[in-house]
Amino acid sequence: MEQDRHSIAPEVHPDEQLPFDEHDFVAHFQRVSISGEDTSGVPLDDLERASTLLVKALELREKYMRNSHQVFPQTTARFLKSTHSSTITHQERKSIADHPVNPPQSTQSPWVIEIPEDLNYSVRAVNGVFEVFRSEETEEPLPYHYPRLPDFVQDMQMMCSMIADGPLKSFCYRRLSYLYSKFQLHVLLNELRELASQKAVPHRDFYNIRKVDTHIHAASCMNQKHLLRFIKKTLKNSADEVVTVTKGNPMTLAQVFQSMNLTTYDLTVDMLDVHADRNTFHRFDKFNAKYNPIGESRLREVFLKTDNYLNGKYFANIIKEVASDFEESKYQNAELRLSIYGKSPDEWYKLAKWAIDGNVYSDNIRWLIQIPRLYDIFKTNKLMSSFQQILDNVFKPLFDATNNPSQHPEVHTFLQYVIGFDSVDDESKPENPLFDGDVTPPAQWTDEENPPYAYYIYYMYANMTVLNHFRAARGMNTFVLRPHCGEAGPVQHLVCGYLMAENISHGLLLRKVPVLQYLYYLAQIGIAMSPLSNNSLFLNYDRNPFPEYLARGLVVSLSTDDPLQFHYTKEPLMEEYSIAAQVWKLSSCDMCELARNSVLMSGFPHKMKQHWLGPNYTREGVAGNDITRTNVPDIRVAFRYESLLDELANIFKVNNEQKMQYASQQ
């Protein structure tokens, strides 16, 4: 091994013309370089085969991301383009003056927006996926392409056989081990330099850099003490307000508590019993029951639902209190999950009306819509006849609001602040895998059995893809897919996430699948991890793979999941960071890198991200880092970027050589 004390310019594609000298953005630090041509440590045949398979897998993901208007990382895309000999365009670098540190705040109401004209197109479901037609009589839909189900199943099968391939597993495991060791050496050689560059930055430290809670559920975004105080305050001030109807009889809040023989004095945090404990470990059913304060589903309905007798009035108030805490801290933001169950077509209208009437808005909050996989329960209770009904109820209102916004103004307005979709439920439930052949279309899925995870994710992705094309054509915001994935259950879920999701939540099972973990690294797929949540449900804290993922360079962030169940303080995200820092001895640089990752993978608007990370945050490597805003040293960013370049160059060099050799033989 040789230590190189001189700065090395990152590799630039020959077709790429930079409008500035890239050497300006090369950090000076101690690098470790490996001598010799082949540094993979595997036989040449295995290396060639591994390169071919990995490039094929990256091309697959790029296809799915491009189709659905989701983000694929520039660096990896650049290498993929080099295999097709196409040119690359670069953005012009902006100066700080182009983007002032304190942008002017809008005084206009967030709910006052321009309503585009109606198109009056026809929207119909074809084999479970909504298509847009210019009129009722038109038989040919608008050319919004998405992968068909048989193609997806074929891609899934190819990926599944790939992750089980012995030589490829060995290769990926070796590369991941190498990346881990490389990071340990980097820290050994450069930790003091990173710390010195952080100390040299005025004003910024870990407390005043932007961080986003990338995985948190709205119904449990407050801690238990906050919920208790809110219930007591509401009971004191609104005791005579009718809050529910039981057996045809209206009941006031005071009567609800009288029926439980409780007064405000009796209420305690222990009595609320919303905290996860040792009894919830591997018991998702018991964990779900913790959403019911005092074990009463009535209280959950009154205080933690958007659709109830009071139209979610109390829930809106407590969310606004949480939002004001975020605004007070200034540097913390959250992407809250709200539920759309697919039980009825007016759920979207009610949810939008709840947000607008209750004025549930904050610059620090954006919404993700979670769709629970509950078809089997709806079917058992005879609420629907086929899976197609869920798809109709979830997606038809979105197409209608995009097609004719003036007829659905509330939904159209609310969607400005929705960034994507999440899929939630217990992943460890047994399920039949999705095989090829005659896969039942949604309209014919009438069994009481729940469709597999991949079936749900495919139809969410396919409908979202057509919707994104439609909305992009109208100049409206588009959505991303960010499902719960790899928390438990089969590893095939992670294959779905790899193909179709921009980011995922949890990803614990990647620790068992080196091929997928390496692909998640190469494709820089964001993983929102919640070690405290996992500790209560599926995996003890000390066994969490989070520190290994971070060391290897996967794009991970810390998130809270459910502060109501897992956290004690007023700032649950800071609690999550502080415990991780103590247990895994994270440095200040590690913490700031995690915060920067959380902003990058979040769905907040581009202008906000420019303000939080710097005007050039979308650029590759050090050119995209502004230490005065992120507090992440250029040394760390350069190390991550150069490591990724090395890995990609390793794979694509061999792959391109193979192609040239094959072409010369023809």
SS3 623: helix
Residue 215 known to be catalytic: no
Which amino acid type is present at position 404? N
Identify the CA nearest to 66 among candidates 416, 76, 603: 76
The span from the CA of 220 to the CA of 226, in Å, is 11
H helix intervals, 126-165: 149-163
662: CB partners within 8 A, 6+ apart: none
The span from the CA of 364 to the CA of 328, in Å, is 10
The span from the CA of 434 to the CA of 266, in Å, is 51
Give how far Cα 150 sits from Cα of 126, 435, 439, 475, Å: 15, 9, 8, 31
Rounded (10°) angle between helices 588-601 and 572-584: 140
Token readout for 227 is 């919920």
Token readout for 165 is 């391939």
Token readout for 627 is 């230490």
Residues found in the chain: 666
- CB atoms near residue 443 (< 10 Å): 16
Tell me how far apart the terminal alpha carbons of the chain are, to the nearest angstrom.
40
Token readout for 361 is 């808005």
Q: Among the options 506, 567, 606, 611, which is catalytic?
A: 506
The span from the CA of 328 to the CA of 351, in Å, is 26
- CB atoms near residue 330 (< 10 Å): 11
The span from the CA of 256 to the CA of 249, in Å, is 11
| Residues assigned a catalytic role | 506
